[in-house]
Structure formats: structure tokens, C-alpha cells
């Protein structure tokens, strides 16, 4: 019950404070809109840069090598495995995890 009372009091308090505040002028509203737009644009650019960097890092991926590694596992361990794209590309790490494939 205390939580219900607190939320009702908070809503009343917020409404009272909002009534006491002045509305933003047209210039202030425009400045706020520009600031928010710039912030969103910066975030989009940062996300695009991060995606481009991640795509550049994928050059060391399995790209065709997973089949040769799978063939080696099949030849040495007499079982077929599917190498996931997220598996380590370092030969020593991959060999150490061959039992998990």
C-alpha cells in the first residue's frame, strides 16, 4: 500500500511542479530540438563507425578455412564437426576447443 501512496504523491508533486514552470520559448524549443538532433546524429555516426571497424576486423574470420579445419578434425578424431563462425580463428585456440565443436 505504501508504494501506491508514494506514486500518487509523486504524480501530484510532478503535476504541481510542472504547473509552476514556464513553457519554453520558440527559440529555446528550437535549440533543444537542434541539440537532440545533433546528439542522435553523433550516435548514428558512432554506430556506423563501430560497424565499419567490426566489418574490417572480420577479415581474419573463418571464410573458407572452417572447412579445412573441420576436415582436419574429421581426419584426426574420426568425427565430423561444424565449426561455428564465432569460433576462435587462432589455430591453437581452435584445436583446444575441437572437443566442443
- In a shared domain, residues 40 and 79: no
What is the signed CA dihedral for 3, 6, 10, 13, rounded to 10 degrees?
170
What is the span of the domain harbouring residue 83? 62-100
- In a shared domain, residues 6 and 48: yes
Can you tell me the distance from the alpha carbon of 44 to that of 96, in angstroms, rounded to the nearest whole number? Answer: 39
- In a shared domain, residues 83 and 37: no
The tens digit of pLDDT for each residue in 45-96 reads 999 988 887 776 555 566 777 777 778 778 887 788 777 777 777 777 767 7
- In a shared domain, residues 30 and 18: yes
User: What would the grid cell of residue 57 be?
Assistant: 576486423
Can you tell me the distance from the alpha carbon of 100 to that of 92, in angstroms, rounded to the nearest whole number? Answer: 14
- In a shared domain, residues 67 and 85: yes
Q: What is the residue-wise DSSP string for 9-31?
A: HHHHHHHHHHHHSPPPPHHHHHH
The total domain count for the chain is: 2
- In a shared domain, residues 31 and 44: yes
- pLDDT of 27 reads 93
Instruction: Decide: pTM greater than 0.85.
Output: no
Residue with cell 520558440: 26
Amino acid at each position: 500500500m505504501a508504494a501506491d501512496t508514494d506514486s500518487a504523491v509523486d504524480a501530484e508533486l510532478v503535476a504541481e511542479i510542472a504547473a509552476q514552470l514556464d513553457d519554453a520559448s520558440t527559440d529555446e524549443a528550437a535549440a533543444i530540438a537542434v541539440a537532440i538532433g545533433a546528439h542522435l546524429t553523433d550516435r548514428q555516426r558512432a554506430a556506423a563507425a563501430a560497424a565499419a571497424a567490426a566489418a574490417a576486423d572480420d577479415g581474419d574470420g573463418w571464410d573458407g578455412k572452417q572447412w579445412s579445419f573441420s576436415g582436419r578434425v574429421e581426419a584426426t578424431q574420426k568425427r565430423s564437426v561444424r565449426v561455428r563462425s564465432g569460433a576462435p580463428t587462432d589455430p591453437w585456440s581452435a584445436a583446444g576447443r575441437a572437443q566442443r565443436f
